[in-house]
Amino acid sequence: MPAKSLYGLGLTALKSNFSSLERPYKLTFAITYWCQSRCVMCNIWEARPKGELSLDEIRRFASKNTFFKWLEITGGEPFLRNDIVEIARSFAESSDGLALLTIPTNSLCNHDMVEAKLEQILGLGIPRVAITVSLDGYRELHDRIRGIPGNYDKAIDMYRRLQALKERHKNLFFVFGYTMLKENQGQFEATYRAVKRDIPQIRYEDFFVNVGQLSEIYYTNSSNQGVLADRGVMAEEIERVIKARGTGMRAEQILERAFLRRLVKYVKTNKSPMRSRSLDASLFMDSFGNVYPSIMWGRRIGNIKDSGFDLDAIWNCKDAEEVRKLIKEGKEPDGWTACEAYQTLVGDMKSLIS
């Protein structure tokens, strides 16, 4: 299968600066809610889901909706689905120009299995496959936050394996994902130093920094106010991260700075720094086929099984139009997560330099 180009993704993102899109180019898809972690900031692991979409149903959805340029597979722990390779294949083979696939992992699955599945995914011809290895603290802190003894060491081992895979697969990209919480506030620098002792070549750019947020439909943690760190401490810490990362001019560095600058605004004000592109450039679909504007907004607008797996019927329904109206009026829930922020930023190019 010929490699697909990133050009189509860039062109669609550019087009979104000037007009609303007929169809979304990004799908955030929670393929399972099963998870082995016991995270203090998230209640997904408490779910015992039944009736999640089968591989055949996912294939039907992918074959009928061929316009996605960016697929974010998430969970739960995505690698708990034995058919994750076939899920990725179904979109890679059906989509007209799938350019980017992103997958987070908690590093708790068997690493030989994960590496073997990643080898297969990397061979699908997707130009960029990005893996985020969750790491929220130094050894004792990360293991306490994630509720699993030994999780820190597993994350370090997973990162080292990705470094080795990169030598064989140039389309692989990976970072540590660090979420700022009440449990680890003020501890990013200590975490960075700990990781650097284990992986000497690590850089600040190798950490993707986010903040803990509340979501009734995704994290199912709306009542867990203990997630939220002190906003002043978080803002100062993010500003130090921005300074440490420097002023690189690669596209991903520019995007990351823009994301982090607005993350500072969000944690200071608790208000969304920009109007999102939810139900325009992107959508969230859970493991049962329910469609939502984003991971932050529990406004269900349909289920793909009820529409014959054709997203158009949901995309153009009355509820979807009402949600778009609310977004334009600034009435969507406040938040600033990576799942929605990047398509928001590239849909407003001037935001990248402001």
Q: How far apart are CA 196 and CA 266, in angstroms?
A: 29
pLDDT at 89 over 80: yes
pLDDT at 193 over 50: yes
For position 166, what pLDDT does the model report? Answer: 97
Element (H, E) at 346: helix 338-346
The first and second tokens of residue 40, run together, are 């203090």
Domain that holds residue 149: 7-174+277-352
Residue 223 lies in a domain: no
pLDDT band at 226 (very low <50, low <70, confident <90, very high): low
| Closest alpha carbon to 132 in 75, 49, 91 | 75
Using a pLDDT cut of 90, give the percent of the chain over it. Answer: 80
Residue 267 lies in a domain: no
Residue 146 lies in a domain: yes
Residue 49 lies in a domain: yes
CATH number at residue 39: 3.20.20.70
Q: Is the peptide bond before 76 cis (omega within 30 degrees of 0)?
A: yes
**pLDDT, mean of residues 249-274:** 93
Does this model's pTM top 0.85? yes
Residue 182 lies in a domain: no
**pLDDT, mean of residues 75-101:** 96
DSSP label of 232: H
Residue 216 lies in a domain: no
| Closest alpha carbon to 284 in 32, 67, 35, 72 | 72
Please count the structural domains in the chain.
1
Residue 198 lies in a domain: no
pLDDT at 4 over 70: no
**pLDDT, mean of residues 297-315:** 96
pLDDT band at 219 (very low <50, low <70, confident <90, very high): confident
Residue 209 lies in a domain: no
What would the pLDDT profile of 176-187 be if each residue is shown by its tens digit?
Answer: 999 999 999 999
CA 76 to chain centre: 12
